[in-house]
Amino acid sequence: KREMVAGQLRDPRAAALPIVAALCGMAVPALVYTLTNVVGGGSLGGWAVPTATDIAFALAVLAVIGTSLPSALRAFLLTLAVVDDLFAILI
């Protein structure tokens, strides 16, 4: 909330970027999974599984680099992780 009110994401354009990135980060793995299984004759039942992989990468970057990240990049990664989780729950 603080980032949206007084932080790096107070500008609506800046706040929209991690949301769009999260949506694309979910759509592309699902599309790759679907195309791979259509071509290979596999089942499409697990298309939602690859959509939740971005959160692990974002948290790993935050854990490894820690507080040395610029605040704008840190806000971007955390927002990306939260939005990705919210949409994964909706799926």
Q: Pull the structure tokens for residue 68.
A: 């040395």
Residue 35: what pLDDT? 92
pLDDT tens-digit profile of 25-77? 888 888 988 999 999 888 888 888 887 766 777 778 778 877 777 877 877 88
Instruction: Indicate the residue type of 74.
Output: R
**Residue 58 near residue 78 (C-beta atoms within 8 A):** yes
Full-model pTM: 0.67
> What count of Cα atoms within 13 Å lies in the side-chain half-sphere of residue 49?
7
User: Is residue 2 scored above 70 in pLDDT?
Assistant: no
**For residues 12 and 44, which has the higher predicted lDDT (pLDDT)?**
44
- Report CA Rg, the chain: 15
**Tokens at residue 51, please?**
């959509």
